[in-house]
Amino acid sequence: MKCRICGEKASVNMREHKLALCKEHYLEWVPAQAERSIKKYGLFTHNEKILVAVSGGKDSLSLWDILQRLDYHAEGLYICLGIDEGISYSTESQRLAEKFASEHNLKLNVVDIQKEYGATLPQITRETHRGRIKPCSVCGLVKRHVLNRVARDLAFDVLATGHNLDDEAAVLFGNTLSWSGEYMLRQGPMLPGSSGLARKVKPLCRLYEREMLAYALLRGIEYIYEECPYSRGSTSIYYKELLNRLENDRPGAKLSFYLSFLEARKTGLFTEREKIQAELHPCFRCGQPTSAPGLCSFCRLMERINPLPVHEGKI
């Protein structure tokens, strides 16, 4: 297989695009695709300050790498969840995030949830009903809360995550199976900011997970390869595997599924957002916006772990 651009031996073949590229041209193609999404969906500009959610995984580190290659002003945020479970998952992922930042002369902010909120993620999952049945849901809640707080406290314009096409297609697939219209209305490359809530963007939303893996490998990015022990057997991984079977038989199916959804929403297939958007109130404890008056979901969760007032530290 030859590179379509230079005719040298191809390193990556993308059946979904009928495109094979050598290492050199692939490493130019991926940032160009991310830049295309940034511009097409109006995610951010070169004048804005971006906070990248860095987990130590291939997608978030690659996103940070791409943004700095594209000359965007991007700092990282690593959230130490205290997941060790015999494989030092958090310790190793933090080490890799710090290593990447140091090697690329980038600023990495770190929040340790045990130090700031008095409990690790494993403790929260063990001690709450929601955590015992849905640990990934609790993890998502904690990460969203901390990311938004740091974006707000440090005056970032936008919060960027490394969600790739497979992540987005799997979420969309799950929401379609249950026809979760409200979630579908919020899903997209950008969730606009509102009072107290940072704008959230996904510059890698059109790039396949396999494409991001190839990018990380070819760029020599060292990332955490071990799976999070809590994600084993998760529904999102199951959906990704199902969608990969579809993709295998019909190259481009995942991209088409996601892009058709965005187009359908844009052309009015779903209820206009304004009609169902909930009124937001500041949480009594942390001040972050919440849909019901009183405590937000994060503070309600932490109330069960630590009834004392939560310390909202500065990093």
Partner 1 sequence: MVKLILRKNEYEVRPGMTLLDALKKNNILPEGVIATRNGELIEEDEILKEGDIIKLVAAISGG
Could you give the string, one character per residue 138-177, with x where binding to partner 1 holds by CB under 8 A and - elsewhere?
----------------------------x-----------
**Residues 289 and 282: beta-carbon distance below 8 Å:** yes
CA proximity to 138, closest of 311, 305, 310, 297: 297
Helix (H) or strand (E) holding 91: helix 89-103
Note whether 18 binds partner 1 by CB under 8 A: no
Distance separating alpha carbons of residues 164 and 255, to the nearest angstrom: 11
Q: To the nearest whole angstrom, how small is the minimum distance from the Cβ of residue 293 to partner 1?
A: 33
Could you give the string, one character per residue 59-78, with x where binding to partner 1 holds by CB under 8 A and - elsewhere?
x-------------------
Note whether 210 binds partner 1 by CB under 8 A: yes
Q: To the nearest whole angstrom, how small is the minimum distance from the Cβ of residue 73 to partner 1?
A: 27
By CB under 8 A, how many residues form the interface with partner 1?
36
SS3 state of residue 158: strand
Output 56 or 188, the one with its CB closest to partner 1. Answer: 56
Distance separating alpha carbons of residues 253 and 246, to the nearest angstrom: 7
Distance separating alpha carbons of residues 137 and 140, to the nearest angstrom: 5
Enumerate residues 6+ apart whose C-beta is below 8 A from 238. Answer: none
Q: Residue 6 carries which DSSP code?
A: T
Q: To the nearest whole angstrom, how small is the minimum distance from the Cβ of residue 235 to partner 1?
A: 10
Give contact residues for partner 1 (rule: CB under 8 A): 1, 10-13, 20, 23, 55, 57-59, 89, 136, 166, 209-210, 212-214, 217-218, 225, 227-228, 230-232, 234, 236-237, 240-241, 244-245, 247-248
